[in-house]
Amino acid sequence: MVQSTIVINANVEQIYHLSESAAYHPNASILTNGDSVIQLTFTENRLLQFFLSKTNTIILTPEITLFLQPSTNELTNQNTYVYISRLKKKLKSSGVEDLIKNKNPGYIILG
């Protein structure tokens, strides 16, 4: 995975190249693969940024839940599993499989 930073009209945009053809644009909350664009929800975008900030580190589900808590009222570990599942499906749709791996007792992104 490669991260690049682009400056356009004084705006800084980070781009994460998740595979040869797939990219993640956190400022726009989208995943791209060629002409395909997949929109991420606010929570999915925050979640993917959180995972990418902790590459090669096992992240426990309660830690993820606490991270998401300020933006989502009454969040439980079960809700967190649902958000992670939805994010993994969107990553797969963009051509990126197995980016977020289950690693007992949590999750990991290998960079």
Q: Read off the tokens for 93.
A: 């749709």
Q: Beta-strand (E) ranges in 1-111?
A: 2-8, 11-17, 22-25, 30-33, 36-39, 59-60, 100-103, 106-109
Residue 75: its pLDDT value, please?
82
2-109 is classed CATH 1.20.200.10 = no
pTM of this prediction? 0.87
Q: What is the mean pLDDT of the chain?
A: 89
Q: Where are the domains of the chain?
A: 2-109
Q: Over the stretch 69-97, which tens digit does the pLDDT of each residue have?
A: 876 667 888 999 999 999 999 999 999 99
Average pLDDT value for residue range 105-109: 93
pLDDT computed for residue 72 by the predictor: 66
Where do runs of H (alpha helix) occur along 4-58? 42-53
Contact 31, 37 (CB under 8 A): yes
HSE at residue 91, side-chain half, CA atoms within 13 A, is 23
> What tens digit of pLDDT does each residue of 3-60 get?
665 555 556 678 999 999 999 999 999 999 999 999 999 999 999 999 999 999 999 9
